[in-house]
Structure 1
Amino acid sequence: MSSQKISDTARPVRPISLLIAILVFADIVSAFESTMMFNALPRIISAFHTTPADASWVLTAFLLVAAASAAVCGRLGDLYGRRNVIIVLLLISAVGSIVSVSTGTLGGVIAGRAIQGVSGGILPLCFGVAREILPKKQVPVAAAMIAGAAMLAGAAGNIISGALIDSLDWHYIFVVAAAVALIAAAGCLLLPRSAVAVGAQRVSWFGSVLFAPAIALVLFGVNKSQTWTWQDGRTIGTILAGLLLLALWIWRELRADHPMINLRLFSERKLALTMLATAVLAIGPVGATGFLLQLIMQSPTDAPVGLGLTATDAGWVSFCIAIFGFLLSPVSGRISARAGSRRALIIGSLFGVINAVTLAMLHSTLMGLIISTVFLTVATSFILSSLPNLIMEATPAENTSEATGLNVVVRTAFSGVGTSVATLLLSLSLVSGTHFSTRGAYMQVFVLIGICCVVAFFLALLIRPGVRAAADTRAAVLASEV
């Protein structure tokens, strides 16, 4: 693939701290939009006199589009300039907010949320911009802060939206989201112009036509499995249809002269192992714990496992701990810069094991849960910041957003799998006459989280230590064959 070489010697003309802050703020928009409607679902159900299943499309529509956008728009950024694509996505996201707030129908809100979902492609583009415009030694720290900001903004989404709902109305969530997206788009104009690949017009657009619905069908099936169950023919049929489309997409991309996503890059050992570690960790500490901690905190004290906190109090606990995780993200970045991101992934996996053990031992008290959640936050901070850095260590600069975008898709898909598996384990063992899961069911989920972290630890050990060595050379050879 003929492309313009991105200079490793280029230096930004604006302060590095300002450039990183702009990228972090752009990523915050996407992360905030992903969680901002959780608290609004009861109001949506009441306002439109609808069912919880129909209202949940406000979340599902965003998720499906965001997953496809992460890979497709990451590749578009590699081809046509990452800064340009980020700005376009932010503007489209603002349009989505306007559609949701102005139509006055549930269908309009869902349509707007689907449009808003394109912001899912911002995270991999931010990684690519950071690698393109920052000095090499600053890239791991910047990537870690961008990943940490996503975690913090996701936690803040529930609190901010809750405050807006209580003091104003759920419509104002979209007003705030649109305003923030427009401010971020204006800020991105201060970023240096991105390099544009030569020959981009020859890319195989057929790849994106197949990839987006394939990922959407798989994620839709996984998402609906919580209401349809895994034994339902609709769940199995939807996922199988998505997997068949995905197989067709892989077959087509491997044979295309100029593929949308160069799958040959994934023959690189480090990249393949990183993707496997991403999938395993997404099932365990990233996916299964996403709802588990909230469930433990908000379940009543007379349940086998429950602390009886209100939703607001539980949200503040999660947010305060997320701040701690964000502050830790530069530490992971510095470890990646000095010793390679493999070391940071090993540390994150070990803290994940510690979190699983402490959850099993200390979940019956608020202080015990906070202690175990701190371990989880350390694990998540190191995991989420090491993964994009590992991807960048294994891929050439011109494929950064493409590869990190696929990593986001893998993480999103397997997080859904982790949530579904954990939900299934909890539902298989209920206290007679109640909807509360037994203590044994929770223990099974804790074991699942621990096993995933152990597997990720051994996968990390298999990754060759050190930063990029011959990766650019190998990738260049692979790209030249396309």
Structure 2
Amino acid sequence: MIIAVLVAVEVISAFETSMVFAALPTFIEEFDSDAATVGWAVTAFLLVAAASAAVCGRLGDMYGRERVLVVLLAAAAIGSFVSAIGDSISSIIIGRAIQGVAGAILPLCIGLAREHLPVAKVPVAIAIISGSAVAAGSASLLVAGLMLDHASWHMIFVVAAVYAVLSLLLVWFVLPWRRPTGATQQVDYVGTLAFAPAIGAILLGINKSGAWGWSDPKTLGLVVGGLAVLALWVQWELRVTDPVINVRMFTDRKIALTMCATLAIAVGPLGISTMIIPMILQSPTTAPFGLGISPTDAGWLSFIGSMFGFVCTPLSGRITRAVGSRVAMLLGTALFTLSSAMMLVLHETVAGMVAMVITVSIGTAFAYTALPNLIVEAVPEGNTSEVTGTNTVLRMAGQGIGTSIATTLLASSAAAAGSAAPTISGLNMVGGLMIGGGLLTIAFTLLIRRGTVYAKA
């Protein structure tokens, strides 16, 4: 029952993360915009999700993970409602930023699984909970496609709001609640509030560099200012007693390498694939690349492909229990890298893209479930949500960075060619970024020492 509830709750996090990808082509047309601008509907969510994962993981460890989940689900419902009633890309971005608090749901669910379940069941439970995001992410593309084809983009956010409320009721009435442990750590609100704006300023500067130029004071001000705030943030995190991201934690070899692998795969194939696949499937055949598939049919292809990945999630947990999460991570990253190469070669055919979607889904199942298990192998139970929250911070921030860079590359290639649609050269650059991120992730993962024993308090 506990695993079932946690899976149902985690679905809303994956749903809100992925649902807007299917609507990006619609937003570009509806608001007469470009990929770089509408991409902020994704980036804003991910940056807030990163900050939320950091602070709410700590709050869950301190005051009770069930209580924090209820607050997050309520906020996610409100954000969905704001986007649903909006009539501009700006209002959608604002609503998406509020929805970003859902980024903390996964680390809280992992902490609850470890808190309530016997040690022997934890690896598979974590794999199933994390792996539910694979199926939920693709299911969200299907639901979004149906709404786009048969209703409107507003209904995507209505469905998300309703599901968030239902998940809140599950946590309130079904999930067992325990008395909070009353951890003595304080919440680093300064570090939390400074992190997302610093990354956001850098990404906005990169995002607008094509239109403004790199020598423009606005571009330089955003990029240099963001880097300066980020440097001060690192200094603050080193000095504060209870940092939002414990920079000193990176002295632990396994944790440091896991975090580096997380960032590399997030900036590369994990962060970009969910964005680029709907664009290839749904872009018209008259564009430089595109298969002209309807949002509903594209959603069905993604959903059916994701089922292959979801079936593999228990296998990833069993591999973790038998030989450690390192092997599962290597398998997942290798499949991600292969899928990126497949995209460059096979993007002109439906069959080729279906093969890519299946490969991506299986790779996601292994990598997405291996990452939290790598963390759980290295930290005590009492710090599970804190450290998995930190890992989620890096993953969400990396996905935001990767999405922003990819959409900027696509928009720049279109502008350089005098085209309204992204070009093949832009797609090739994006594919190269994905492959490079995958190879770097493999290098970091190979340096992680083997191990399957969970850390004790």
What TM-score, normalized to structure 2?
Answer: 0.85
Q: Please say if 1:314 is aligned against 2:298.
A: yes
Q: Superposition pairs for residues 89-128 of structure 1, below 5 Å?
A: 89-99=72-82, 111-128=94-111
Trace 1:441-460 onto structure 2 (pairs within 5 A). 441-460=426-445
Separation (CA, whole Å) in 1 of partners of 2:61 and 2:103: 16
Residue 347 (structure 1) aligned to one of 328, 331, 342? 331
Q: Which amino acid aligns with 1:446?
A: G
| Partner Cα distance (2:438, 2:90) in 1 | 40
Report the CA distance shift for 1:234/1:75 in structure 2 as closer, same or farther (over 3 A).
farther
Alignment match, 2:122? 139
Q: Using a 3 Å threshold, how does the CA distance of structure 1 residues 55 and 264 change in structure 2: closer, same or farther?
A: closer
Matches within 5 A, 1:20-99: 20-38=3-21, 59=42, 61-99=44-82
Check 1:45–1:408 CA distance in 2 against 1; reply closer, same or farther (3 A cut). same
Answer yes or no: is 1:465 the counterpart of 2:446.
no
Q: Distance in 2 between the 1:98 and 1:442 partners?
A: 34
Letter in 1 for 2:50: A
Matches within 5 A, 1:195-234: 196-200=180-184, 203=186, 205=187, 207-222=188-203, 225-229=206-210, 231=214, 233-234=217-218
Distance across 2 between alignment mates of 1:449 and 1:285:
4
Secondary structure at the residue paired with 2:377?
A: helix
**Any idea what the Cα deviations from partners look like across 1:283-321, whole Å, max 9, x if unmatched?**
221123233323332344455543332333223212221
Amino acid at match of 2:316: S
Q: Larger deviation: 34-43 or 123-132?
A: 34-43
**Is 1:365 equivalent to 2:344 in the alignment?**
no
**Equivalent position SS for 2:56:** helix
Higher Cα radius of gyration? 1
1:125 is displaced (CA, Å) by: 0.8
Deviates more, 1:180-189 or 1:378-387: 180-189
Q: Could you say if the C-alpha distance between residues 388 and 239 of structure 1 is closer, same or farther in structure 2, counting changes exceeding 3 Å?
A: farther
Unaligned runs of 5+ in 1: 1-17, 477-482
How does 1:213-292 map onto structure 2 within 5 Å?
A: 213-222=194-203, 225-229=206-210, 231=214, 233-292=217-276
Aligned residues of 2:148 and 2:295 also touching (Cα < 8 A): no
154-163 vs 338-347, which deviates more? 154-163
Contact in 1 for aligned 2:207/2:404 (Cα 8 Å) = yes
Tell me, yes or no, if structure 1 residue 407 matches structure 2 residue 391: yes
Q: Is the 8 Å Cα contact of residues 28 and 38 (structure 2) preserved in structure 1?
A: yes
2:142–2:300: 8 Å Cα contact kept in structure 1? yes
Bigger Cα displacement from structure 2, 365-374 vs 268-277? 365-374
**Matched residues, percent identical?**
43
Distance (Å, rounded) in 2 between the aligned partners of 1:325 and 1:401? 25
Letter of the 2:431 counterpart? F
C-alpha spacing 1:109/1:25, structure 2 compared with 1 (3 Å): same
Aligned to 2:367: 383
Q: Which moved more, 1:288-297 or 1:169-178?
A: 169-178
CA contact (8 A) 2:41 2:93 kept: yes
Partner AA of 2:395 in structure 1: R
TM-score of the pair, normalised by structure 1 = 0.81
Deviates more, 1:31-40 or 1:334-343: 31-40
The letter of the residue matching 1:384 is Y
Aligned partners of 1:228 and 1:234 also within 8 Å: no
How many residues align structurally? 451
Report the secondary structure of 1:394's partner residue.
Answer: coil
Letter in 1 for 2:264: V
Change (3 A) 1:234 1:322: farther
Write the distance in 2 (CA, Å) between the matches of 1:208 and 1:266.
Answer: 21
Return the letter of the residue paired with 2:198.
L
Change (3 A) 1:25 1:280: same
Distance 1:326 1:226 in 2: 34
